[in-house]
């Protein structure tokens, strides 16, 4: 019988397997490059953020009662015109002469700031903002400044009716505000002297000089007293929660009652020759 020859096949040598090249070495450098570029862009954008961003935040945070217009520079170093208004929709506005300049510097504790107004500060205000657990603390270094009383007319009623004139001298000592657990706590002291004040509602110029004192503590208090003048003002108040309760009296010397009668009608509720001031 015919038999097919047996063919012996030598097994092929197995070739060593080579794994597919990993994509990581090729893509990793590009990933790092893109990440670095994006980070650099973000830092550049942050460092050069336009001052307008800060003005919008201030306007919204203070309910449009304080406006920073004609802003120049950046968020960190800039200037603007400072305006007081009566709030959203108000037609009242008063702008300080000159410009307000600022410098902001982040640090390990929070944020440091310097504010300077051409018209009103011989030395800049130095402030520090420190985040706290559940709140923050804002402190103002001891300072002195002087402001035109006419600037208050921008706040609307009743200032736009009274139209005050004079000089407002402000000094602060250890003044700080701390927000904790939804409460505002004040410490330190602020004193505002309203000097040589007059009003369009009276022909008597000046009517007098006055002092308002704010004292912080467990219960913050407000005091009003007369330094000199025919118009006599006095009163005391305190903050209960977030509300101010104030009781005061305005009166005039007998010989000046006629000249100050219209102003007394605006200041408070008339009670004979005096006016009762009540807030809260």
Domain residue ranges of the chain, discontinuous segments joined by + = 47-119, 138-279
Residue-level pLDDT at 241: 74
Mean pLDDT for each 10-residue chunk of the chain (280 residues)? Answer: 46 50 52 49 58 89 91 94 91 94 92 95 95 90 97 93 96 94 89 97 95 94 97 94 90 94 93 92
- CB-based contact 72:45 (threshold 8 Å): no
What Å distances lie between residue 31 and 35, 37, 269, 279, CA to CA?
6, 10, 73, 63
CB < 8 Å & 24+ apart, contacts of 265-270: 266/158, 266/161, 266/162, 266/201
Please give the pLDDT value at position 226. Answer: 98
What pLDDT was estimated at residue 180? 81
């Amino acid at each position: 019988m015919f038999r097919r020859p047996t063919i012996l096949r030598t097994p092929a040598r197995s070739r060593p397997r080579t794994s597919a090249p990993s994509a990581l070495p090729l893509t990793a450098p590009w990933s790092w490059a893109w990440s670095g570029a994006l980070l650099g862009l973000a830092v550049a954008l942050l460092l050069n953020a336009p001052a307008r961003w800060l003005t919008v935040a201030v306007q919204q945070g203070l309910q449009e009662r304080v406006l920073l217009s004609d802003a120049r520079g950046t968020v960190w170093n800039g200037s603007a015109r400072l305006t007081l208004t009566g709030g959203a929709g108000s037609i009242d506005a008063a702008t300080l002469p000159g410009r307000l300049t600022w410098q902001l510097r982040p640090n390990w504790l929070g944020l440091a700031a310097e504010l300077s107004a051409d018209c009103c500060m011989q030395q800049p205000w130095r402030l520090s903002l420190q985040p706290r657990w559940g709140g923050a603390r804002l402190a103002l270094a001891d300072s002195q400044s002087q402001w035109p009383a006419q600037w208050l007319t921008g706040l609307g009623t009743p200032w736009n009716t009274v139209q005050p004139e004079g000089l407002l001298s402000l000094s602060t000592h250890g003044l700080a505000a701390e927000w904790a657990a939804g409460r505002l706590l004040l410490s330190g002291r602020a004193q505002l002297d309203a000097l040589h004040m007059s009003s369009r509602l009276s022909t008597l110029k000046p009517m007098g000089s006055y002092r308002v004192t704010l004292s912080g503590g467990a219960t913050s208090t407000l005091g009003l007293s007369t330094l000199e003048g025919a118009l006599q003002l006095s009163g005391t108040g305190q903050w209960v929660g977030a509300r101010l309760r104030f009781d005061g009296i305005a009166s005039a010397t007998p010989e000046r009652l006629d000249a100050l009668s219209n102003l007394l009608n605006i200041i408070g509720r008339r009670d004979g020759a005096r006016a009762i001031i009540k807030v809260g």
